[in-house]
Structure 1
Amino acid sequence: MNKKVLVLGEDTRSFLSVIRSLGKAGYQVDVVCYDRQSPSLKSVYISNAYFLNYQSYTQSEWLEALIELVKIEKYDALFPCDERAIFPLFENKDKFPPSCVLAIPNQEVIEHLFDKSTTKQIAIKCGVPVARGEIITLKDKSLDYLQTHFGQKFVIKPTLSFKSEQLSKRQKVEIVDTQEQLSQYTKYIDAEDQFLIEEYFTGIGEGVSLLAMNGQVQHLFAHARVNEPRAGGGSSYRKAIPVDAGMAESCIKLCEATKFNGVGMFEFKKNQTTGDWILIEVNARFWGSLPLAIHAGIDFPADYAKALFGELTPHKLPNQQYNLKAYARSLSNDLYDTKAEFEYDLQHGDVLKGVYRLFKRGIGYGRLLSNETIDSYDAKDKAPFKEEVKQFYRNTLGGKIRKVLSKPTHTTSEMNRLMAMLYVAPSVSIKFVCYGNIMRSPMAHKTLQTLCNQVDLDWQIDSFGFHQNENRQSPVECIKGAKNIGIDLDTHRSQWLKQSAVNPDDDIIFIFDERNSDLLSSFYDCKNVFNLAHFVPSGLGQHQEIADPYGNGDEAVKYCYLLVVEAVKNIFEQYLKVNSK
């Protein structure tokens, strides 16, 4: 009987690569996917998909649901693809059945290689070159202070990509050399938050990927970034290169020092002029450029699974045999990166340079005819690639065309659909959902509740937001604007919409804009969703959204509330009319 494994993630790089690798190796692959819209879910190698995420579940709910799933399905192994699953699995490993192997890093790796500051310390101890820098509080530091200490251009690094207590939010590395960039980055951080600030090292990103068991390296694979993102962050286009002997030695030292057990990618930066290089960080998990390594000939996920099940024959020396001509790109990310580079050149008046770069990157797609692959593409599993292309089109050109050519949603058909649901419902449960639950949704909630109270209509009505910071008051301008039309928002406090608050089959959910719709589609199980904007009476025009008035003053709130109230009244009056017949 084939072993049964559960893979946790969402992207079309590491997550999809692990799914395909294990599926081709003969394992039954189930997944826990954070995003219901992920193209990876189209893979033919997935037997069953489950949806647990940190938007619609608290961290404790997520963990409890996962443990219950593992016990019921009796998985032989769990393969987490990032820290959102690695941290809770590591911290609660004793709660999982002993028969289920957890593909997570060992204690020493967690302690030393996930925090960028401790990674820096152990690298220095092992004699591995790193950038000059230090841990400081950032909120009170001026640009002048930072540039004096770290150079004209410097790098801001959160010590952790994800905080274990806030797994819903990924923290971002930023390259900074202007006041605007610094102000934008520090806008939402707290005074006590600490960051690793380093001088900027000029060079090209290179990575050394490896599989090690108990500190002994089994495979080594190296890649370089073909294009370096201007603002930093992950690469969208990479190529295989020979393993640098010095980098390999550094990786082996760090693996021995931490008794490294698992997979990882050690990220370096190399100056092409001097040949000098530094260690940037360690991703002690499956990494974004994993599709390139597999395409080049080293199947890290399959061999990791063999090692976990005691089926891998150890190498005395690390295997470094792979196709040095291999290239791979993340299609959507590369197209967005190309667009951003071109727009940057245009904004800075360098049209010729922009056109040249655009042409050069376009020519690079010719490699697809030889040694290049696209992360989401596989000849035996084409559906994820097709879905990625569809989503990219919808989010770019297709979206613009749709806005220009699309006809307004027919209010009558939407109203008829809603009335039919209300008519057959044994009890009516309505939820209004906007982003923050402090402006639009509470106004709709209170308006409908007031109307229902006037005719003793026993509907269950509530409002929620996607923002996870609860118990926030409505802004002053909203309280004042609502009071002017007889609605009291003074006592309202925001609520975060959790999946536990939603009855997928029976609840009627009203959203206000496309962003609300996207969040519901990605993270929640709900079937009966309506856009309140489609119920605004025709005398006020055709509307595809009721825009968030946040930060736009009293007049924006006044207009927003006009649309909200009239839409709610329209629904209510139509219901009374239909029910009186």
Structure 2
Amino acid sequence: MKQNQPKIHVLIPDGESHLLLEVINCLSESDCLVVTVMSSKQDNPMRFSRYIDNYSYYPPSSVEDWIGYINKEVEKREVDVIMPIFETGIKALIANRQLINCSDKLLDWPSVQNFETAINKWKLYLHMSQYGISCPKTYLLRRDTPIDTMDFPLIVKPTKGFGGGLEVELLKDENEFKEFLERKTEMETEFIAQEYVRGEDYCCNVLCLDGEILNYTVQKGIMWGAKRFGAQLGQEFIYNDEILKISSELMKSLSWSGVACIDIRFDENEKEYKIIEINTRYWRSLVGSLVSGVNFPLLSILMHIKGRQLQKPYKEVKFFNLKGLVKYIRNDYRNLINLRFIWRNTALKYAILDPMPMVYKFFTRKWI
């Protein structure tokens, strides 16, 4: 980068999100950014990151007050781009855009209505059914839901959730379904039951503008932790035209702008890909996409500042996060000698280059 080229000042207003580490790792690849983070978490290890220029703590507050803090930071730091990274903050900003003093600095996102459709698994199912997009048969659970209309096994999950497999269960038969309803006597959270698709897990990560996918990666899950429905520890990045086609149909139907991570399964019985749900935010395997050659956070910023960023070929690689790296080594200790792979295809490189958040987290951990 040329010395006299102006910097781009970026504000991340929801830095309390667990995704901040992934986003900052990606943004660290560019020297053209000045990154300011706002957070409602004062004791956040990420405030020690060498790639965060300013870290501001604001206590949890109403949406109106929070946006007021954003306006304050935008003026104080001469911010060029407002970049929320998690569903809650994204939705709050697009729903209250009129409260942002410089709303043109907010990254591109879809309408509130389409965002709500995508984030709500029941609404998404109805939407996909309307547009003829392949997806598992889904039921909205109520106390009086007739069991005889259902085909087991079923996956039950909240209609709204933030990933990680929280409150996701596999019900094998009617007895387990009845036990589930008994445990959820209050039913304060709305649940769906989704046909269990036997097959392999995939994701299509996208950056869109007005329904058109401008940048993407496709990944196949190859390693999981203890929770089968939790986040993947390892992925293999591949090309798959069928996955790109079904993802394009969905994004076009939602007139989507911004990023999304589309969860997909290949139905081994029906021999077709089915969309399971959408993560309407950045995702945990962001660094994997980066290693394959697509830096989604940086591209989001550049698209907002400079316009459309054309897709470049990405590499078909395997990637493991830190937990995945540990499991990769434990599976075969001979993998320790593959230092080139470990440096290039795991998250270890980013932990070493920006060690202070991890060091702080280690020494402040409650050991007893």
With over 3 angstroms needed to count, the CA separation of the structure-2 counterparts of 1:288 and 1:75, relative to structure 1, is same
Question: Whole-Å Cα distance in 1 between the matches of residues 149 and 203 of structure 2?
Answer: 28
Asked if 2 retains the 8 angstrom alpha-carbon contact of 1:31 and 1:46, the reply is yes
Q: Measure how far apart 1:281 and its partner are.
A: 0.7
Partner of 2:3: none
Q: Which residue of 1 aligns with 2:168?
A: 174
- Corresponding residue number in structure 2 for 1:154: 154
SS at match of 1:221: strand
Alignment check: 8 A CA contact 2:222 2:236 kept: no
Task: Report deviation, 1:188.
Answer: 5.5
CA separation of 1:359 and 1:22: change in aligned 2, threshold 3 A: closer
Q: Which residue of 1 aligns with 2:306?
A: 310
Separation (CA, whole Å) in 2 of partners of 1:117 and 1:75: 37
* Superposition pairs of residues 324-339 of structure 1, within 5 angstroms: 324-331=316-323
Partner of 1:492: none
Q: Please state whether the residue corresponding to 1:157 is helix, strand or coil.
A: strand
Corresponding residue of 2:10:
5
SS in 1 for 2:301: helix
Question: Per the alignment, in what secondary structure is the counterpart of residue 9 of structure 1?
Answer: coil
Aligned equivalents of 1:156, 1:368: Cα separation in 2 = 41
Are 1:377 and 2:335 counterparts?
no
How far 1:301 moved relative to its partner? 1.1
**Conserved 8 A contact 2:207-2:214:** yes
Q: Deviations over 1:369-411 (max 9, x none)?
A: 51421278355323334445556xx45xxx2xxx4xxxxxxxx
Q: CA deviation at 1:259?
A: 2.2
**1:259 equivalenced with 2:251 (yes/no):** no
The higher radius of gyration belongs to: 1
Long gaps (5+) in structure 2: 1-5
Q: Does the CA contact (< 8 Å) of 1:4 and 1:27 recur in 2?
A: yes
Choose which of 92, 98, 104 in structure 1 pairs with 2:96.
92
Looking at structure 2, the residues matched to 219 and 180 of structure 1 have their Cα atoms a distance apart, in angstroms, of: 44
1:42 CA drift (Å): 2.4
CA gap 1:49/1:82 in 2 versus in 1, 3 angstroms: same
Structure 1 unaligned blocks of 5 or more: 163-168, 339-356, 404-581
Are residue 277 (structure 1) and residue 248 (structure 2) matched?
no
The residue correspondences of 1:69-84 to structure 2 (distance < 5 A) are 69-84=73-88
SS for the counterpart of 1:46 is coil
Equivalent position of 1:219 in the other structure: 215
1:335-376 CA-to-partner distances (Å, cap 9, x unmatched) read 7xx7xxxxxxxxxxxxxxxxxx99538777776651421278
* TM-score normalized with structure 1 length: 0.54
Name the count of aligned residue pairs: 354
Q: CA deviation at 1:216?
A: 2.2
In the alignment, what sits opposite 2:293?
297
Structure 1 residues 265 and 275: alpha-carbon distance in aligned structure 2, compared to 1, 3 A threshold: same
d(CA) in 2 for partners of 1:170 and 1:58? Answer: 26
Determine helix, strand or coil for the equivalent of 1:155.
strand
Q: Distance in 2 between matches of 1:171 and 1:141?
A: 26
- For 2:99, the aligned partner's letter is K
Q: Partner residue of 1:40?
A: 46
Which structure has more strand as a fraction of its residues? 2
In the aligned structure 2, how far is the partner of 1:187 from the partner of 1:50? 42
* d(CA) in 2 for partners of 1:312, 1:131: 33
Identity, in percent, stands at: 17
Bigger RCO of structures 1 and 2 (CA < 8 A, at least 6 apart): 2
CA–CA distance in structure 1, aligned partners of residues 248 and 158 of structure 2: 26
CA distance in 1, matches of 2:126, 2:348: 34
1:22 aligns with 2:16: no
Contact kept in structure 2, 1:116 and 1:159, CA below 8 Å: yes
The answer to whether the 8 Å contact 2:156/2:169 transfers is yes
Specify the code of the residue in structure 2 equivalent to 1:372.
N
Aligned pairs for 1:96-495 (under 5 A) are 96-98=100-102, 101-107=105-111, 109-137=114-142, 140=143, 146=147, 148-161=148-161, 172-177=166-171, 178=176, 182=180, 186=184, 189-190=187-188, 193-228=189-224, 231-271=227-267, 275-313=271-309, 315=310, 318-319=311-312, 321-331=313-323, 360=331, 369-370=340-341, 371-374=344-347, 377-387=350-360, 394-395=365-366, 399=367, 403=368
RMSD: 3.5
Contact 1:175 1:232 in 2 (8 A): no
| Mapped contact 2:41–2:57 kept (Cα < 8 A) | yes
Indicate the larger mover: 117-126 or 219-228. 117-126
Measure the CA separation in 1 of the matches of 2:329 and 2:81: 44
Q: Which amino acid aligns with 2:45?
A: P
2:262–2:279 Cα contact (<8 Å) kept? yes
Counterpart residue type for residue 2 of structure 1: K
TM (norm. structure 2) is: 0.81
Alignment-mate amino acid for residue 130 of structure 2? K
Q: Would the alpha carbon gap of residues 334 and 118 (structure 1) be closer, same or farther in structure 2, given more than 3 Å must change?
A: farther
Distance 1:157 1:362, change over 3 A: farther
Contact 1:291 1:328 in 2 (8 A): no
Q: Is the alpha carbon distance of 1:276 and 1:171 closer, same or farther for their aligned partners in structure 2, counting shifts above 3 Å?
A: closer
Q: Distance in 2 between matches of 1:10 and 1:91?
A: 20
- Helix, strand or coil for the counterpart of 2:223? coil
